[in-house]
């Protein structure tokens, strides 16, 4: 019988890891027993392992639905490096015939596909040719209209689930509030007791949210105190280019831009250089980050406000995956929210309402005098300790800053 004991052995043999992290073991226990599950675990918690390990241990192929081709190819590389028999079926692959033959011959542990392919009837026919052990739905919040990144193709997956009711499902996401979770579970037919909700707290990340006066100077100061790799998120391609240039000049550090307007070769080169570097700063739009496995990012800075608390958590979550002290700093201005609200005027109902509510929740986090971590964790349904001791509001309470400021003014008068 397969069980958690043999999972430990496979963990060592296949991945070379000594133990499970967080709630991986709880997820695996369910999956290995054939129970459908929704795993909500923070970025960097190791969600991939919770389907890759069963894929190796169980008879039949695990079909992974994943939203980005680049993400799939990264996963493919790392799975193969561990000796897992994995393949992708995407528009970027030339080896379709080999992949299909391998699947039919039962020689694949993992098969990665995009949701638009997975939801097609022809794909269901193809899948019925060989045994399946699991459907893993990565970034599962995309299934829900309540989620912060709804994708219609994900909604269509229901047809696939209905065609293979006997195959267990493992839905994975880092960010889903109560409503999104309920919706994902209903759509993917995951029983109510199938939720594994891991801690959202990232205790090694220091959170700070500051007024923006001169972003180049503020970022230069941040970089002066932090020599490791960092990500700076800016709102537009122009701002990315501009900031990258000015920061490079001001700090002498390697700084590179990343946005969708760069040609693919430059983009790939900048990403690869960043992943390999120990001191590079990448200035990017939100196009950057998903699926990038760089454990030693020492800071994530936002110039301007992200779209939501979920987006903020996901983006800042790219800092400190190795567990070492790291910083998340947002530099915001009052005009940021006004601009974001104006943009919403073009969005149609009911989406507009949901997005406005998200923006309001983010404004609550930005403007609070309370512990940032407490507000963040409560947003995800966790009951936090009142005072984390590792955010700006805990370490520099408003009263104290004001008093210092006052003293400074008096002294310099
Ligand atoms: P997520 O998808 O939850 O953001 P990943 O699956 O990409 O996280 O895993 C993040 C990192 O953690 C990877 O480098 C992975 O190899 C590592 N990892 C996962 N599980 C373990 C474990 N049990 N022990 C050590 N490292 C692990
Ligand atoms: Mg992942």
pLDDT of residue 379: 87
pLDDT of residue 1: 45
pLDDT of residue 155: 86
Give every CB contact of residue 278 below 8 A, 6+ residues apart in sequence.
228, 229, 296
Give the Å distance between the CA of 174 and the centre of ligand 2: 8
Give the Å distance between the CA of 48 and the centre of ligand 2: 6
Residues enclosing ligand 1, CB less than 6 A? 17, 20-21, 24, 41, 43-49, 293
- State yes or no: pLDDT of 413 exceeds 60: no
* Percentage of the chain modeled with pLDDT above 70: 96
pLDDT of residue 176: 86
Tell me the DSSP string of 393-410. Answer: HHHS-HHHHHHHHHHHHH
Measured by CA distance, the residue closest to atom 23 of ligand 1 is 20
Measured by CA distance, the residue closest to atom 12 of ligand 1 is 46
pLDDT of residue 400: 53
Give every CB contact of residue 286 below 8 A, 6+ residues apart in sequence.
233, 306, 307, 311, 315
- State yes or no: pLDDT of 401 exceeds 60: no
Q: What is the pLDDT of residues 45-63, one digit of tens each?
A: 889 999 999 999 999 999 9
**Average pLDDT of the residues in 5-31:** 87
Chain mean pLDDT for the chain: 90
Give the Å distance between the CA of 321 and the centre of ligand 2: 12
Measured by CA distance, the residue closest to atom 14 of ligand 1 is 293
Confidence of residue 405 (pLDDT cuts 50, 70, 90): low
Length of the chain: 413
| Residue 284 backbone phi and psi in degrees, to 5 | -145, 160
- State yes or no: pLDDT of 412 exceeds 60: no
d(CA 73, CA 92): 10
Contact indicator for 18, 12 with CB cutoff of 8 Å? yes
**Average pLDDT of the residues in 369-396:** 89
Tell me the DSSP string of 6-49. Answer: HHHHHIIIII--SS--TTHHHHHHHHHTT--EEEE--TTS-TTH
Mutation to probe ligand 1, out of 26, 47, 49 (largest number of atoms < 8 A from CB): 49
pLDDT of residue 408: 54
pLDDT of residue 399: 58
Q: CA nearest 261: which of 290, 242, 240?
A: 240
Contact indicator for 184, 18 with CB cutoff of 8 Å? no
What does pTM read for this prediction? 0.68
Q: What is the pLDDT of residues 144-197, one digit of tens each?
A: 887 777 888 888 898 999 999 999 999 999 888 888 999 999 999 999 999 998
- ipTM value: 0.98
Q: What is the pLDDT of residues 345-372, one digit of tens each?
A: 888 888 888 889 999 999 999 999 999 9
């Amino acid at each position: 019988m397969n069980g958690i004991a043999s999972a430990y052995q496979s963990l060592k043999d296949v991945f070379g890891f000594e133990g499970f992290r967080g709630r991986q073991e709880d997820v695996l226990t369910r999956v290995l027993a054939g129970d459908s599950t929704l795993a909500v675990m923070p970025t960097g918690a190791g969600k991939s392992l919770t389907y890759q390990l069963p894929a190796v241990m169980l008879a039949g192929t695990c079909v992974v639905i994943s939203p980005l081709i680049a993400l799939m190819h990264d996963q493919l590389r790392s799975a193969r490096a561990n000796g897992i028999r994995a393949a992708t079926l995407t528009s970027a692959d030339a080896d379709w015939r080999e992949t299909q033959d391998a699947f039919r011959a039962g020689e694949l542990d993992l098969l990665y596909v995009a949701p638009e392919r997975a939801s097609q009837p022809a794909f269901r026919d193809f899948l019925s040719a060989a045994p399946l052990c699991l459907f893993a739905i990565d970034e599962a919040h995309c299934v829900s209209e309540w989620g912060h990144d709804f994708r219609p193709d994900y909604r269509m997956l229901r047809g696939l689930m209905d065609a293979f009711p006997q195959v267990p499902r493992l839905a994975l996401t880092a960010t889903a509030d109560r409503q999104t979770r309920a919706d994902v579970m209903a759509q993917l037919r995951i029983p109510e007791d199938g939720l594994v909700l891991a801690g959202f707290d990232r205790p090694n990340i220091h959170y700070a949210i500051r007024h923006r006066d001169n972003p180049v100077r503020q970022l230069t100061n941040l970089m002066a105190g932090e020599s490791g790799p960092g990500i700076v998120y800016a709102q537009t391609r122009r701002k990315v280019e501009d900031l990258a240039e000015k920061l490079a000049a001001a700090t002498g550090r390697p700084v590179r831009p990343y946005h969708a307007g760069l040609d693919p070769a430059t983009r790939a080169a900048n990403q690869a250089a960043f992943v390999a570097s120990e001191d590079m700063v990448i200035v990017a739009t939100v196009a950057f980050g998903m699926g990038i496995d760089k454990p030693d990012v020492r800071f994530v800075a936002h110039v301007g406000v992200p779209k939501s608390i979920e987006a903020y958590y996901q983006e800042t979550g790219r800092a400190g995956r190795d567990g070492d002290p790291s910083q998340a700093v947002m530099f915001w201005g009052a005009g940021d929210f006004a601009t974001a609200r104006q943009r919403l005027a073009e969005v149609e109902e009911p989406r507009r309402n949901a997005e406005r509510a998200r923006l309001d929740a983010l404004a609550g986090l930005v403007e609070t005098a309370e512990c940032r971590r407490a507000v963040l964790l409560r947003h995800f349904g966790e009951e936090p300790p009142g005072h984390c001791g590792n955010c700006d509001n805990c370490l520099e309470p408003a009263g104290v800053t004001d008093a210092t400021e006052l003293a400074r003014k008096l002294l310099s008068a």
